Structure 1
Amino acid sequence: MKQHSHEFIEIYDGMVGFGFDRETDENTVVYYLQKFSDDRLMAVLKKRMTDEDLTALFELLSLLLHKHLTEQEYHRLFLKEDHP
């Protein structure tokens, strides 16, 4: 059974743009992240990114996870593991 899903990108047919309203901004961020994490795209990008690019991206994602998820949510939603 697959643990990860990227269904939003497959069904979303709304506007993609930033700065219009909160809902469109949220949907655009999800759209971009799901497009960004595509295996074929990442196979190309990861080889072209500098060490600084990789560090900046990792640190931003880690910061956002730490800021917005409890430890239990981090384990359950991000790591996909049971956590007491």
Structure 2
Amino acid sequence: MAQDTHNFIQNYTGLGAFGMDRKTDQETIMFYLQKFSEDRFMAKFIPRLDQDELQEIYIFINKMLKQHLSENEYHNLFLKDR
């Protein structure tokens, strides 16, 4: 059974604009990240990135995870391995 979900994007009716207010900014980031991680899109996009771009994305994501999640949250919420 699949553990990952992308339910937010299925029901989102907000603006999808950044810079208006905190709530809209958060929703827009959720929208973008869920659209960004869609399998068909990733299959086209990832091969077009050079090695430096791949590393930049990896470093940024890991930095944010370490900065904003505890070790338990990282394993439970992100990796889903506990």
- Normalised to the residue count of structure 1, the TM-score between the two structures is 0.95
1:27 and 1:39 mapped to 2: Cα distance? 21
CA shift for structure 1 position 81: 1.4
What is the aligned residue count?
82
Is residue 14 from structure 1 mapped to residue 19 from structure 2 by the alignment? no
2:51 corresponds to 1:51: yes
Q: Give structure 1 stretches of 5+ with no counterpart.
A: none
Q: What 5-or-longer segments of structure 2 have no aligned partner?
A: none
Give TM-score scaled by structure 2 length. 0.97
Q: Distance in 1 between matches of 2:56 and 2:17?
A: 23
Percent of residue pairs identical: 45
RMSD of aligned C-alpha atoms? 0.6
* Aligned AA (2:4): H
Separation in 1, partners of 2:74, 2:47: 28
Q: CA deviation at 1:2?
A: 1.6
> How far apart in 1 are the matches of 2:35 and 2:42?
10
How far apart, CA to CA, are the structure 1 residues paired with 2:76 and 2:53?
A: 28
Return structure 1 stretches of 4+ with deviation > 3 angstroms.
none
Q: 1:16: Cα distance to partner? A: 0.5
